[in-house]
Structure formats: C-alpha cells, structure tokens
Amino acid sequence: MTVFLSDFLWGAASSAHQVEGNNINSDVWVQEHIKGTFHPIPSGDAVDHYHRYREDIAMMAELGLKTYRFSIEWARIEPEYGHFSLAELAHYRDVLEVCHHFGITPMVTMHHFSSPRWLMRFGGWLGEETPKLFAQYCQTVFEYMGELIPYVSTMNEVNLPLLLSRFGALREETEIPEWKKEAAALCGAKPEQFVPFLTGYKAEHIGIMMEAHRLGRQAIKKIRPDTQIGLTLALPDFQAIAGGEELAETLWQEHLFQFADHIREDDYIGLQNYGREICGPEGIIPWDKRKEPEQPEAEMYPEGVAGVIRKAAKLGIPIIITENGYITTDDELRVEFIQRVVKGIKACVQDGIDVRGYIVWSLFDSYEWHVGYTSEMGLVAVDRKTQQRTPKGSARILGKIAKNNG
C-alpha cells in the first residue's frame, strides 16, 4: 500500500528559454549575444521543444510520467509592451491541450528567469510598474487558457538573486559594466534601467518580486479560483557543524522563513533542492574542502530533499518538490539518486508532512544558463545536431515509480 496521495505529482520539468529555442524577444537572448556576460554561448535552437512538444509530451506519457512542469514565455506572449500575440497564446494553449490528451498534469511557471526586452525600459525587476505589468500578463494568459492550468507557479526561485549574492556569484556594482550598457541599448533602455531577474541583486528586488507574486496571484484567482498557486524557492539544506549554528539559522531565515507572510494565501510552496551547504564557525565549508580525492566534483546528496521538506513543513502549507536533480554523466548514479530522494520523501509523508509532488530537473539535457550545453542533468539525452531524443534509464525508473505511485 502506497503512502502517497492518489494524485501525487510525479514528473519532470523544463523552462521555456532553456528548451524552446530562439527566444529572441527576451532579455536573456540579448545577454547571450554580448561579450562579458556569464552566458558562455547562445542558447540558439536549444532542443527545439517549441516545435517538438507533441512528441516530447507523448514520450513522457509513454515513460509513465504524470506531471510536466514547464514555463510560458512572457517575451513570446507579449513581445512588445501592450501587444499580446494571439498566435503565441494559441501555441501554449495547444501545449496544455496536448498534456491533457496524454493524461499529463501540467504545472505552469509564469516566469522562469527570462523577461521581455521591453520590460527593461520600465526598470526591469527594480521597476515600480513591473508588478502590475506582470499581473496583466498573468490575467491575459488565464483569460485565454486558464481552465487548462490546474497548477501554476508565479515565479521561479524568487530568492535566487539573494542566494547568488550571498555566495559571491553576484555583487553590487560600483560602476555599470560595458556589457550592461550594450544590453540596455539593445533593449531601448538606459543602463541603470537594465535589471534582469538574475544578473543583479539589491534588497528592493525581493519587495518587487513579492508584489508581482501578490498581484499575479490576485489576477489568476479572480479568473480561476480553483487553480493551485504557489511560487518556488531555491533551497539548499543548510546544515551546521559546531560553531556554524547561527549562520545556518540566518540562512534559513533569509531563504525560507522571510517569505512566510508573503505566501500564507498560497496553495503550496515549491521547493527546489540541489544538495546541502554546511556552515562552520568561519562560514560555508565548500565541497572541495570536504571531499575525498576520489569523490566527484559535485556532491551527491539526495537526502537534502527530505531536509528542506522537514524545515519548510513549519510554514504549514502543502509542499511540492518542483525541482531536484543531479549533474552526472553516469546515469546509474542518477537512478540511485532518484530512488534515495523518493525514500526520503516517503519518510516525510509517513511522518504526516503534506507533500504533494516530486518533479525532477530536468526533462532534457538542455541549455543551462552559466554552462551552456555541457551540463547533463536530463532524464532524456538530446543529439543537438539531429534533435534525436533518447530516454535514459533514470527516465524509465522515474516512470516506473510514477506508475506505481512510489
């Protein structure tokens, strides 16, 4: 007898920019084609999911997966301020209809890092008008296809700019770099207006994002009150050794509990875990300082999922693991990883925690923002010369788990 709900969400995830290809009206596309940004190469055609979604969703169903988390691309829906493309709305409506046809539950992310170029003219993710503009986009999408969307996440990893800043990947700029001046010009914006979701952090970002989430949720619920709404957080399992307890609690507060008041009206919280961070008396102890010589470059720690579930359970709202995965060329390790994650989730459910889904990142070996196409995180390999899809053993084991509901 399974401990999981009969409608538990077993599935895989993608994001529009990373898999569709040729997202030319977005701010990320602009950055990819300028020297000096953190993007090593352009995304280009990606894995051409924009044209191949029917066969891809059919493949998911054949494997036994039950849920597909994907994003709708704002830059396609509203390629210029105030102009909503009926053709693109029809495209995404068809993606949703194909999901339902094959018995796949769709979970839509309204914003997964990439924004329309024109949003930079309004100040990007520091612009006072951005929350209202985001809500208008959400309203338009749900007026057109809301009855097909049972689950929605307003924004992906709203705490990620803060997390990257905390770990030194983003820093406050003392002067505007040349690449940003060029990118702003290509967007018709002033350099100080060019504030994409990921490439800068200030304390005000969280306030703008939370207002966008609130107004987006309000617009969606007015049209589809039964749609389950949440947002997602990037959440390592913050652990402590002696002397690191205070830092660990600070990190939990920054990246989880500070959002408590903003998500009280949400239907679920999406948790996205890729391992753990160990806090010591002198700060975070990086993996390369802890690992043995024969161990891999990235720590394999599937138990991090159960760790973040148990911490987030204190919020008192349902939990969905909306992303979790492991970078490896050895798919047998990924199979073991998934099995250990599911074991940990099962223990949480048995302890009475309300967990409603496990969604693996990612469906494909696809474009990753800072490493291009060198990351192999997918359940499905893709030959990018031919776009041939080849499901891996990990895809089949997740499908088997889904069919057996755990």
> Would you name the residues annotated as active-site residues?
157
Task: Output b/e per residue, 97-135; b: 16+ Cβ within 10 A.
Answer: ebbeebebbbbbbbbbbbbbbbbbbbbbbbbeebbbbbb
Q: Could you tell me if 206 and 196 are in contact, meaning their C-beta atoms sit under 8 angstroms apart?
A: no
DSSP SS3 for 240: strand
Task: Look up residue 210 and give its amino acid.
Answer: M
Q: Could you tell me if 43 and 21 are in contact, meaning their C-beta atoms sit under 8 angstroms apart?
A: yes
Beta strands in 215-333 (DSSP E): 228-230, 232-234, 237-240, 269-273, 276-280, 283-285, 319-324
CA atoms within 13 A on the CB side of 296: 10
Of 272, 225, 334, nearest to 113 (Cα)? 272
Structure tokens at 140: 């338009």
Structure tokens at 67: 């849920």
Query: CA torsion 350→355→356→361, rounded to 10°?
Result: -120
